[in-house]
Amino acid sequence: MMTYNIGNHPSLRYTREVYDICRPLQVLNITYFAHVNIDKNGQFSALSNNPQFIEHYLKNKYYNCDIHMAKNHKSNSYILWDNIELTGESLKLHLESFAFGVQHTFTIIEASNGECNYYHFANNQTSSSINQIYLNNIDLLRLFISEFNKAIKQSSLLSQAYDLKFLLDTNATGYTMRDNESLDHNVKRLQFYKELKKKFHNSIQSVILSQQQMRCLNFLNKGMTSKEIAKKLNISPRTVEQHLRMARESIGCRNSKELIVRCREMMICQSIDT
């Protein structure tokens, strides 16, 4: 490992520059981004828009128990952290990250020329609705990654982050999950969601629901009755039933149970302002 003062890391010295590059992510309610590079020699380097967290991370050598240390994962894939049960130091890192506003992490993994890159996205909200935003906008996230890499190459200051190498401890416990489960299952599950989204893309485009219908569907999906929804939206139960009936007709469902299932498949029931 190169010896240097962590306080001189570009993530800490050039916070405004990193923040400006990551600003477009705010459109998707993503407040945290970090890029990790594992080079051909197995050395770690990183850049993040959260200086407090990366300082804590580096000082505690958490790079020895993070996701890039997983024994089994596929390159060129993506990982939804909320679906993984962590243990040991990996769990400790995960829990401590909450204090720094890093929650519901989503990672895109790209490998090429003997190197592996991990792009981490997260936000500072307790709601897990951000996970659906990740899945619905993977193409946009990949576009951001491309623009991020271009910006770093053009910045002699920020590119210094990748000259600061940390040698990973191969004797460390690494990335630990419950029963040492493989990440493959998580990857396959997310691939299923991606295929499902693609399958129903045309159906989603053809369904036009009003904002009030969407609100009623959102509460119905949460298990609320028509009376409860009516009270929540300050309308009559009869009006709620009319909104749900029109939604069923638009989507092509016979009853509320089928409506909920269909909406989840089509990814219509998402977090919306109510």
Helices 237-251 and 256-265, interaxial angle, to 10°? 60
Judge residue 6's burial from the number of C-beta atoms within 10 Å of its C-beta, 0-12 exposed, 13-18 middle, 19 or more buried. middle
Which residues fall within 8 angstroms of residue 213, CB to CB, at 6 or more apart? 243, 244, 246, 247, 250
Assign 4 a pLDDT band (cuts: 50, 70, 90). Answer: low
5-50 pLDDT per residue, tens: 788 999 999 999 999 999 999 999 999 999 999 999 999 999 999 9
Say if residue 212's pLDDT is above 90. no
- Which strand (E) or helix (H) includes residue 174? none
Q: Return the bridge partners of 126, or none.
A: none
Q: Hey, how many other C-beta atoms are within 10 angstroms of the C-beta on 268?
A: 23
pTM given for the model: 0.68
Cβ-contact 65, 89 below 8 angstroms: yes
Least confidently predicted of 82-96, 143-157, 160-174, 204-218: 204-218
Domains of the chain: 6-199 (3.30.450.80), 202-265 (1.10.10.10)
**228-255 as b/e, with b when 16 or more CB fall inside 10 Å?**
ebbebbebeeeebeebbeebbeebebee
Assign 173 a pLDDT band (cuts: 50, 70, 90). Answer: confident
Judge residue 126's burial from the number of C-beta atoms within 10 Å of its C-beta, 0-12 exposed, 13-18 middle, 19 or more buried. exposed
How much is the mean pLDDT over the chain? 85
d(CA 91, CA 83): 13
Q: Return the bridge partners of 80, or none.
A: 106
Q: Answer positive or negative: Cα dihedral of 10, 15, 16, 22.
A: positive
Say if residue 143's pLDDT is above 70. yes
92-115 pLDDT per residue, tens: 999 999 999 999 999 999 998 889
Say if residue 200's pLDDT is above 60. no
d(CA 129, CA 207): 21
d(CA 243, CA 155): 53
pLDDT recorded at residue 205: 42
